[in-house]
Amino acid sequence: MWRAPARHSEGLALRYTTCVIHEIRAKTLLSRVSGIDTWFGLDFGVNLYRGCQHHCIYCDSRSQCYGNDRFDEDVLVKANAIDILRGELRRKRARGIVGTGSMNDPYMPLEEKERLTERALDVIAEHGFGVHVITKSTLVLRDVALLQKIARRSTAAVSLTVTTADDDLARRIEPGAPPPSERFRALRELANAGIEARVALMPVLPFLEDSWDNVRAIVERASECGVMAIVASFGVTLRDRQRDYFYARLDEHFPGLRERYEAQYGDRYVCQAPGGEVLRTRFEALCAERGIRTSARPLLAPSAVEPRLLD
């Protein structure tokens, strides 16, 4: 694992949570997940915002194909999202699992004021759908009562993304998000509240996070917190604008590492961690020992097969 310098700017998180906020009107909100979602067992996806205040250096949502040219400068708030979501759920013949957090963090700092995620959970509960939330924020604890309400009729699961157990390293790769130590505390509170608590161990950045010491620490901490599942991807995806941004951050925080990436991966989209298969084997063995699942099964998607990407 890369050992980051001990010093850091106390204003780093504030720097990356400052964005220009715009309201937009959405035409649709609920998207159908094609086939079986083998990562999280979702039927539908919802994005209440565009852009994100956490500014993780590896975020694929920065890529050109998503059409968000100012991902790191603006956050777009879908002002009519709740009305649209209510209408779309009402028209669904069959209930399913609604996922949020794939394109941005639904609990970024702005959510504390806008409360779109909170109101969306209320609508999801009202219509008897299940939910899966992916976040790096402890703000999810604000909505425990709503998650419990959803769980009484369907399924409620929360995955906290944890890519490193090292708070200091996390400040550099996830500069606007709470440190992993706080995320582990949130996982414990979610589990204690009866919510399905999970870890999304993805991405695992090559040469930074792909040591067994790091992976083992995450699994052990997760086990202590009552986590029931860890879904992992041992590598990272890089393309066009996202690759440029990622390499610029490597130059800033980890001088010399960019050249190592370029030599190892060239312009490949999927950048698998060297030794990823061995790492996955050890990871799965430790999870089995601790009684932790390594896929979405069985609570969200009984027919899903275990994901095998980036290994």
Evaluate if pTM is beyond 0.85: yes
CATH architecture assignment, domain 12-290: Alpha-Beta Barrel (3.20)
The pLDDT value given to residue 103: 86
With beta carbons less than 8 A apart as the criterion, state whether 9 and 81 touch: no
141, with CB counted inside 10 A (0-12, 13-18, 19+), is middle
Domain boundaries in the chain?
12-290
Mean pLDDT by 10 residues, the chain (311 residues): 32 51 91 80 93 93 83 88 97 93 93 97 97 97 98 95 98 96 98 96 98 98 97 96 96 97 96 96 98 77 40 41
**For the purposes of burial, counting CB atoms within 10 Å of the CB of 211, is it exposed (0-12), middle (13-18) or buried (19 or more)?**
middle
Pairing state of beta strands 97-100 and 130-135? parallel
Judge if the upstream peptide bond of residue 5 is cis by omega within 30 degrees of 0: no
